[in-house]
Chains A and B, each alone.
Chain A
Amino acid sequence: MSVYITRENKVLIQGMTGQEGSYWTRHMRDLGTNVVFGVTPGKEGQDVDGVPVFHSIVNGIKAFEADTAMLFVPPKFTKDAVFEALDAGIKKIVTVAEGVPLQEMLQIRKAALSCGAMVLGGNTSGVISAGEAMLGMFPYWIDRVYKPGTIGVMTRSGSLTNEVTAEVVKAGFGLSTLIGVGGDQVPFTRFVEVLPLYQADPGTKAVVMVGELGGSMEEEVAEAIAAGFFTKPLVAFIGGRTAPEGKRMGHAGAIAGGGRGTAKGKVELLEKAGAGVAKRPSEVGPLLRQALGT
């Protein structure tokens, strides 16, 4: 089982004819993603491996139903592209762009909340339901990382996610759905907003959260567990425990200051709420086994 993206979803791709867009469209379809059409202004009538291209979403949805949008759009056009998808009534939108202007990130998040849509990103690899479908850019062909199974993963990272997920698989588990919320200062969807999907999914037995210093997303998850809002086992890995305060180490969102957003504070709250907290990636597997009694 999986959440957010399955083979039932009808996916439109904005920026499909670009180099990155066409390359990853092929991979998404190879895995099983149902891509219905692409959008690139000025290229209506063309196709990418038989998938038709339209000038706009409005034109595309006259011919095909779509419920999900995948964006391969540069950061400075991301706000417009997300708004175009929201305007067309699309409720699931994934954007991989890194470098969206900060104040436009606020506008995107606010608009998504107003529309009741779940926009994932920016600065993310996307979302993958292992063995089934994906939106974004994942090396799903590497079995020791993207094996199907029952562990939901939510993450702010890319390479580190491969690292941690490999440990999940090494411990004998596999993935239900991996959701990348992205490494930016203003993630369009927050960890705590992803949790209800995993809570409701019978195919997800436990969740691994790959967090890091900065922001308050991990604290919100700890509060959700403490309040009984999320009841499945959760194992967290928090990067940046030894990062010096005040320096921006890693992602744009990864900076702690004035005692807030520290890795230490996140670890303490999560442990207090009853989550397993791994100090090293290799501890994630054993903690999962412990939590699930396997």
Chain B
Amino acid sequence: MKLFEYQAKEAFAAAGIPVPKSRLVTDPAQARAAADELGGHCVVKAQVLTGGRGKAGLIKLAGSAAEAEALSASLLGETRQIITRLLIEEAVDFKREVYLSITVDAVAGKALIMASADGGVDIEHLAATAPEKIARVLVDLDQGLQAFQIKNVVFALGLAGGETGKQAAAVVKNLYAVFRKHDAELAEINPLFVTADGSVVAGDGKLIIDDNSLSRQAGYELTREHFDSDTEFEAAQDGIPYLQFDGDISLMCAGAGLTTTVFDLINYEGGSVANYLEFGGPNYRRAKRAMELCLKNDCKVLLVVTFGTIARADVMAEGVVEAMNELKPRVPIITCIRGTNEEEATATLRKAGLEPMFDTEEAVRKAVALCAGGKS
């Protein structure tokens, strides 16, 4: 779960990482008052989860409280995406920007600190074009962050020595504490500002909490803003993996890898996907809810493909038939349900008047053909 900048900075501040003074506001009048408090000269930052906010015009510099109010009104009136909160932040007079992040290294089985003296840039771009400018320090979680590692990171940031060096070392140590305490997948400060008087302060803040650890990270909840569509949000609240597209074929499949493969096959055949929905694993008894979500789309065909072991074919076939009877979908349903107890599944589907298929690629071709037929 990706946190908003203001949430990340709250976590940073609580761990002792210096952040600029700021106020979180929800309307232009509040923005004006906040800007006044901060001395007028401030930055108005839309709290959205998409990257590249600067380029997208979602971060604006204001020279006065009146300007902050006007900029806030225009950002809150954005129609391209939902903006409900703004962070009004004091403008920091910086002389340098550096990069610091902590993530996971799957190969080493350790935390990975990445540091670069070149901050404020897209780190993935830097990694692709000038990898030698990024220092990588691996930290064993059971040993914890060692003094020599902090020192190496501070050297890589180009901030060693004096008061700045001390402050940078504290930021590294405290960011690691945030990473551990919040079960982070990523904790990133980009840019980390160095001000004219040599202090360091976090210009931006990114914190992604591992989804598998959310139950022990109190205080954060998924909101509509975490999703690209209403149905994705609704499905997520039900714990059903769902992605919205705008094509013809609604996927109601089981198994993450298999559903992804069916998605590919449809594209290979020249078809288009209305939505990706996966009702395997813990959801295999929830065919009705899955079908309800699928039918929110203006799709032409519903395609059900499964090949499960624990997600039993007979249970899923019964679920599909029950859902059909209750929801009475007007679009044709193609099924390719195999796996544990598939003979019973086949009988159930035939009894309900369906013509079960057994080959995924044939089922995909049939679905694509049905859509094409519907168009002519």
A-side interface residues toward B, CB under 8 Å? 75, 98-103, 105-113, 125, 137-139, 142, 155-163, 166, 183, 185-187, 190, 210, 212-213, 215-216, 239-243, 247, 249-252, 254, 257-260, 279-282
Contact = CB atoms under 8 A, between A and B. Distances in A.
B360 A239 contact: no
A110 to B, nearest CB: 4
A29 to B, nearest CB: 17
A52 to B, nearest CB: 26
B257 A100 contact: no
Given A98-B281, A106-B141, A158-B257, A139 B340 contact: yes
A159 B306 contact: yes
Contacts of A106: 104-106, 109-111, 141
Given A106-B141, A139-B340, A242-B263, 17 more contacts: A105-B109, A106-B106, A111-B109, A113-B109, A125-B309, A162-B307, A166-B307, A186-B106, A212-B260, A251-B257, A252-B211, A254-B256, A254-B260, A258-B124, A259-B128, A279-B268, A280-B265
A75 B212 contact: yes
A158 B282 CA distance: 14
Contact of B212 (A100, A125, A155, A279): A100
B32 interface: no
A160 B308 CA distance: 9
Contacts of B141: 103, 106-107, 110
Contact of A239 (B125, B128, B213, B260): B260
Contacts of B16: none
B307 A159 contact: yes
B183 A102 contact: yes
B257 A160 contact: yes
Contact of A215 (B106, B210, B308, B342): B106
B309 A102 contact: no
Tell me the interface secondary structure of chain B in the complex. mixed
A51 B260 CA distance: 40
B106 A187 contact: yes
Contacts of B180: 103
A102 B111 CA distance: 11
28 contacts: A75-B212, A101-B210, A101-B216, A102-B104, A103-B104, A106-B104, A110-B108, A110-B110, A111-B142, A157-B257, A159-B308, A159-B309, A159-B311, A160-B257, A160-B307, A163-B261, A183-B256, A239-B257, A241-B264, A243-B263, A250-B259, A250-B278, A251-B256, A254-B257, A254-B260, A258-B124, A258-B125, A281-B360
Nearest to B210: A102
B265 A160 contact: no
Given A125-B309, A160-B258, A183-B256, A240 B264 contact: yes
B107 A216 contact: yes
B89 to A, nearest CB: 27
Contacts of A161: 257
A98 B239 CA distance: 14
A70 B365 CA distance: 41
B292 interface: no
Interface string B259-289: 1110111011000000010101100000000
Contacts of B107: 190, 216
Contacts of A215: 106
Contacts of B142: 107, 110-111
Q: Which of B107, B110, B268, B278 has the most CB of A within 10 A?
A: B107
A251 B211 CA distance: 12
B204 interface: no
B18 interface: no
A110 B257 CA distance: 26
B338 interface: yes
A160 B255 contact: yes
Q: Which of A75, A156, A190, A243 has the most CB of B within 10 A?
A: A243
Interface in B99-144: 104-111, 124-125, 127-128, 140-142
Contact of A102 (B213, B256, B259, B311): B213
B210 A103 contact: yes
Contacts of A100: 212
B91 interface: no
Nearest to B105: A106
Nearest to A101: B213
A56 to B, nearest CB: 22
Contacts of A242: 263-264, 267-268
Contacts of A279: 268
B185 interface: yes
